[in-house]
Amino acid sequence: MSRQCGGCKVCCRVLAVPGLDKQKGHHCHHESTAGCAIYKKGRPPECLTFKCLWLRDDESLIARLPDRPDKTGVMLVGPVKSEFTKRTGIPVIFAYENNLGDFERYQGDKLIKRINKKHLVLLIRGEARVFLGPAPLVEVAKKFVHAVIAGGT
């Protein structure tokens, strides 16, 4: 049985949706109490193709995620295809916080700790970014970011 978004609308809030002229971190004007008002008809391509890790339910990437992002307060996306991954071969999972403080709340903290034992995770809180994961992976990520900032890529 495939998973359904149901009432979860974390992606509707935390991600930018250019097809709807919606900025990241803002509520979408199509959100309703039941979820997305245009879910069945009228979603732009960005929404049609997007699947968070919970919705994908891909056991080859991460052991089955037990709760939807609206329950944990954390939406996982990835592995994200990025310049970093192309150059290092290291996949990155992005973790978006639904509401300020959700990373530290019990369910969010538990999920992040479980994922970053084996995977490089980029925590995204507003404009702030923090890498977590196995120390060697985090070190590679930090060196890459510093090289980019210094203009050495």
Beta-carbon contacts of 114 under 8 Å, excluding residues fewer than 6 positions away, are: none
Cis peptide upstream of residue 18 (ω within 30 degrees of 0): no
pLDDT digits (tens, 9 = 90+) for 68-91: 899 999 999 988 888 899 999 999
CA neighbor of 62 nearest in space, from 106, 119, 113, 3 = 119
pLDDT at residue 140, as a whole number = 95
Beta-carbon contacts of 148 under 8 Å, excluding residues fewer than 6 positions away, are: none
- Distance of alpha carbon 30 from alpha carbon 14, whole angstroms: 14
pLDDT digits (tens, 9 = 90+) for 21-54: 999 888 898 888 877 888 888 888 888 889 998 9
